[in-house]
Chains A and B, each alone.
Chain A
């Protein structure tokens, strides 16, 4: 039986396809010329005639929209949606690049790399909120992890720096845990105070300590590792399997958390503590201890996410280097409906937006670049409003737990 809510969403998706069709046919078909995409670092490239490409996809979108509105696409609708999104992105890119060429593989590789802190931040958020504690402090944990990771790695080595970053994340998570679980302070307030504290103290220290002592803030970041065999797969191998260890860790973390959350006793208990802690408590689950433990794990994960900046990419810490990625991670948590894979796909979307932003400035498309830069955020807004809709959070997130 389909509920009214689902019907409405299916209709919105249908209108969405028609909207994509209009954009593709009206805007993306304006620019004749070939778009070159370099698919490998070596130079094998795909050349698409931008205009014809847009017409074909536009007609496909019209068909999809009509089918969706008339009959509904039933079981395959999610797959079709994903494919349609990919097609739309392709026609957008071929429109933007027409007459030029750029490295598609490089951009996608960049996307995957940039998704690391957002993914790990989002996993930290899921770990906390699934067990009943709202975590607004992701940004603070990332930032503090980045700072301490940079200092730790500069003074000793990369491994030690990463460990320091993990410990820093755990320390902040412990503060969040003590105040929100033990002292029952409003979790949003504690979380935000942690964010401000992390922003203030890292900026303060970077001026007062790192600027006069530059050797505390200079390290050689890790190099990408090619996974044997897998990295040889054309196109995909380059994107997914020639990456730093941080990327592999974040893939593993998503898989592990998905498995643990839905297939283990720990996961069942965690979800119970987030949904209905009283019942879990009655059945003998130590809710308080569970929350402490999960928060500490979350802090560790976020700490690694923070260490990605100095150790995984730039090799140094700069003031407010995270630039709000922790809040993007929060949005990814909600976007992904508190599911690790959902949050990961959200992180990929936001990371793609960032990667496009860095590339797109070079193209002359006849439309002010600000609108192109705005597009990913606008798309997110439309997607959240039209397709995702109201998301149901863990019921007990935000409420302190009474043992009695």
Chain B
């Protein structure tokens, strides 16, 4: 609990600081205002933009639903990067693992028929397995040959995107009568139930039970790290692989396990997107989530609670950013800038401390991952 509050407080201060910088950016890029000298208009733009940013993320059911929808894949893929970081590995491959998981879940989702209570978990688990196997490739390559995971996961991302493009054109996957690469629809029984499904006639509330899958996964990640031997060994390998080796831990198989787990989390992210948000798969299934996930993990310092807080914050920014773009002439890309600034401010506690004159001891977090060599 204490950890949560601390994490929330720093994140909140970092958010404030980055909103400040964001406001400056909005004002100085208002070319018309700069030319005419009408700064009143520029400042009112900032006000309207931030108002709709907030309203679009938390104000009202629809905004909350959008935030939840945005948070779900970010949290799951954020865990995929976090668990790898904990083991000293840099998983840039969440995108490819998401695609693998999404396609496996999709396949289960439209081929099998059965009661919903059976088929939904089955499809999600299939997604996790698909993602895990794909993530495992990088782990096995690293353990067997020493091939660096940064190279292999980048290559696997490209390979996955071409594989998906090909699969979506095969008769097994392609929707009948469509010339473009788009998949068949997941049967209704395999769709993740909508969270606000009990409200009739609110089809705009798209949040789905994938959010609970993500929360469960976060809990599982916490349990793994704090309560199991495997989690201890993963952390030990991540902190000092030589010491862990001398203590008798099998660092090679731990590498494989870490990448399997990472792929599993990312695969679930793909599965919840397919089974919940979209109901089908397209080439843009993973989007930029794989890279946003790295920011989530970095902001959350790879801890379960930190990753959760970071994912909710980024999900909210994403939902709010869309309504900001709709209501003002401020492009949604501002939220990428805000995310970068938040990560920076949280990573540099000295800076935030100086800005807000917060008193508390700052502990260095050490290195995120083992570096290139290990």
Residues of A at the B interface (CB closer than 8 Å) are 129, 134, 179, 183-186, 188-190, 192-197, 199-201, 203-205, 207-209, 212-213, 324, 327-328, 330-331, 334-335, 368, 370-371, 373-374, 377-378, 380-381, 384-386, 388-393, 395, 397-399
The residue from A195, A208, A373 contacting B329, defined by CB atoms under 8 A apart = A208
Most chain A Cβ neighbours within 10 Å, of B147, B337, B350, B368: B147
CB distance from B341 to the nearest CB of A (A): 7
Q: How far is the CA of A327 from the CA of B153 in the complex (A)?
A: 11
B332 to chain A, nearest CB (A): 9
Return the chain A residue nearest B151 by Cβ: A331
Is there contact, CB below 8 Å, between B372 and A129? yes
CB-defined contacts of A377 to chain B, threshold 8 Å: 155-156, 158-159, 162
CB distance from A291 to the nearest CB of B (A): 16
* A392 CA / B341 CA spacing, docked (Å): 32
A200 touches B334 (CB 8 A): yes
Question: Does B163 reach chain A (CB closer than 8 Å)?
Answer: yes
Q: Given known contacts A189-B347, A377-B158, A384-B148, is B368 in contact with A203 (CB within 8 Å)?
A: no
- Residue on B nearest A373 in the bound complex, by CB: B162
Known interface pairs A189-B298, A200-B333; A393-B162 also in contact (CB < 8 Å): no
Max chain A Cβ within 10 angstroms of own Cβ: one of B25, B151, B159, B348:
B151
Q: Give the shortest distance, in Å, between A32 (CB) and chain B (any CB).
A: 26
Please give the number of chain B residues whose Cβ is less than 8 angstroms from any Cβ of chain A in the complex.
55
Q: Considering the complex, give the chain A residue whose CB is closest to the CB of B92.
A: A327
- B-side contacts of A330, CB under 8 Å: 150, 154
In the complex formed, the residue of A with least CB distance to B329 is A208
17 contacts between A and B (CB under 8 A): A134-B371, A185-B348, A186-B365, A189-B343, A193-B341, A200-B335, A200-B336, A204-B331, A324-B154, A331-B151, A334-B372, A370-B163, A377-B158, A384-B145, A391-B372, A397-B371, A398-B372
Determine if A179 and B343 form an interchain contact, defined as CB atoms under 8 angstroms apart.
no
Task: Give, as a whole number of angstroms, the nearest-CB distance from B195 to chain A.
Answer: 30
Set A373, A385, A392: member contacting B147, Cβ < 8 A: A385
Quick check: B162 and A371 within 8 Å, CB to CB? yes
Complex: A200 Cα to B329 Cα, angstroms = 16
Pick the contact of A389 from B147, B162, B365 — CB < 8 Å? Answer: B147
* Contact between B373 and A392, CB atoms less than 8 A apart: yes
Complex CA gap A89/B281 in Å reads 34
In the complex, the answer to whether B145 meets A203 with C-beta atoms within 8 Å is: no
Q: A401: shortest Cβ distance to chain B, in Å?
A: 14
Contact of B151 among A199, A324, A335, A393 (CB under 8 A): A335
The answer to whether residues A186 and B334 also contact, given A208-B29, A331-B151, A384-B148 and a CB cut-off of 8 A, is no
Q: Are A197 and B341 in contact (CB under 8 A)?
A: yes
Tell me if B295 and A196 are in contact (CB < 8 A): yes
Residue contact B337 to A204, C-beta cutoff 8 Å: yes
Within 8 Å of chain A (Cβ to Cβ): is B90? Answer: yes
Q: How far is the CA of A324 from the CA of B95 in the complex (A)?
A: 13
Q: Which B residues, 341 to 374, have Cβ-Cβ distances below 8 Å to chain A?
A: 341, 343-344, 347-348, 350-351, 364-369, 371-373
B90's contact among A188, A386, A391, by CB below 8 Å, is which? A188
| A203-B333, A208-B329 as given contacts; A389 in contact with B146, CB under 8 Å | yes
Q: Which residues of B contact A203 (CB under 8 A)?
A: 331, 333, 336
Q: Identify the B interface with A (CB < 8 A).
A: 25, 29-31, 90, 92, 141, 144-148, 150-152, 154-156, 158-159, 162-163, 165-166, 169, 294-295, 298, 329-331, 333-341, 343-344, 347-348, 350-351, 364-369, 371-373
Contacts of A179 in B (CB 8 A): 344, 347-348
CB-nearest residue of chain B relative to A5?
A: B146
A139's nearest neighbour on chain B, judged by CB, is B291
A399–B367 contact, CB under 8 A? yes
Which of chain A's residues has its CB closest to B145's CB? A385
Q: Is the CB of B146 within 8 A of A209?
A: no
Task: Find out whether the CB atom of A380 lies under 8 angstroms from the CB atom of B151.
Answer: yes
What residues of B have a CB within 8 angstroms of the CB of A384 in the complex?
141, 145, 147-148, 151-152, 155
| Chain B residues positioned under 8 Å from A399 (CB to CB) | 367
CA distance A212 to B30 in the complex (A): 11
- Residues of chain B within 8 A (CB-CB) of A324 are 154
Contacts of B150 in A (CB 8 A): 330-331, 334
A395 to chain B, nearest CB (A): 7
Contact A194 to B340, CB < 8 A, known contacts A397-B372, A398-B367: yes
Chain B residues with Cβ below 8 Å from A134 are 371-372
Contact B152 A381 (CB under 8 A): yes
Establish whether residues B343 and A371, one from each chain, have CB atoms under 8 Å apart when the complex forms. no
Within 8 Å CB of B364, what residues of A?
Answer: 184
B residues within 8 A CB of A390?
Answer: 145-148
A137 to chain B, nearest CB (A): 11
Assuming A204-B25, A334-B150, A391-B372, is B141 touching A199 (CB within 8 A)? no
Residues of A within 8 A of B29 (CB): 204-205, 208-209
B87 to chain A, nearest CB (A): 15
Min CB gap A10→B, angstroms? 14
